[in-house]
Amino acid sequence: MLQPQNIPTIPVAGFMRLSQVLQLIPIAKTQWYEGLKEGRFPQPIKLGPRARAYRVEDITALIERLGQKQNEEA
């Protein structure tokens, strides 16, 4: 039986670091930061002086929105 390898999963609730988000949305960090600046992507939550993360709910909504946009273009 084949086992899935390195398939990223989305937790039900909580926070995700940028590296986890970029496993789900395959774009470069620079493109991600441009999207943040332009308001296309959700803003991170400050967890500490040097730590930021994204709400799982925001990332899930973004993935759904991107999927709908892709379906409309097809």
Helix (H) or strand (E) holding 60: helix 56-73
| Mean pLDDT rounded to a whole number for the chain | 89
Tell me the pLDDT band of 74, cut-offs 50, 70 and 90.
Answer: low
Asked whether the beta carbons of 41 and 62 are under 8 A apart, the reply is: yes
**How many CA atoms, within 13 angstroms, populate the side-chain half-sphere of residue 17?**
4
Confirm whether pTM is higher than 0.75. Answer: yes
Q: How far is the C-alpha of 16 from the C-alpha of 52, rounded, in Å?
A: 9
